[in-house]
Amino acid sequence: MPFEKFLSSFDPETGEVTGARITKRYLSELRGCFADSAAYEAALALADPLLYSVSTVDYAAGEGDLGYAVGVLMPGRIGPEYYMTKGHLHAWREAAEIYIGFKGDGVMLLQAEANGDRQMLPLRPYQPIYVPGHTAHRTINTGTVPLIYIAIFPARAGHDYAAIATKNFRQVVIEQGGQPVVLDRAEWLSTRGSR
């Protein structure tokens, strides 16, 4: 059975992946991600909830190899801003990635490193999102149940969190009147500041 090890399985209802490496991210690890830093510190003073877990399956780490991860991102908000992943560029910038939603309502923010081109796209079943290389990406749960998705990437992709953490994503996704809206981060912050 030479290829048996290449069969894996996950539960799209819970995001559980048999035999996977699990990374858990708590609110305290997302300092600087949420635009409203006062709301962030106030929430963290009360509790440090689990925001998401990522189960990664890698087979080999050579050039040409692939891996995948199943993410479970909890519903919730900091102020009006929905729970999100840290977001990153790939350490190997050329590496692209494909995301597919399984369950829940979410979006992704994509932002090109070179010129700041940016867009919010829905993360849904049957609508794979291709994240090209050199593109920062962040996942956001805009719904009321855990958002479950798969990401398939070159094994060599790696994560560079620092580059986008410094510049930050230029867009924020916030709840307004029960609906998610995407706004320019700087403009939104200046509107709130002038209240």
What is the Cβ-side half-sphere exposure of residue 50, based on CA atoms within 13 angstroms?
A: 11
Q: What SS3 class is residue 86?
A: coil
Residue count (the chain): 195
Nearer to ligand PAN among residue 43 and residue 108 (C-beta): 108
Angle at 163 between CA 47 and CA 194, to 5 degrees: 60
How many helices (H) and strands (E) in the chain? 3, 13
Per CB under 5 A, contacts with Zn ion among 121-160 are: none
Among 51, 69, 140, 172, binds ligand PAN (CB under 6 A): 69
Q: How many residues sit in the footprint of ligand PAN (CB under 6 A)?
A: 15
Using CB atoms, what's the residue nearest to Zn ion? 97
- What DSSP character marks residue 83? P
Q: What minimum distance in Å lies between the beta carbon of 38 and ligand PAN? A: 23
Kindly list the residues in this chain that would bind Zn ion in the complex (CB under 5 A): 97
Q: Which residues bind ligand PAN (CB under 6 A)?
A: 25, 54, 69, 71, 85-88, 97, 137, 139, 151, 153, 157, 159
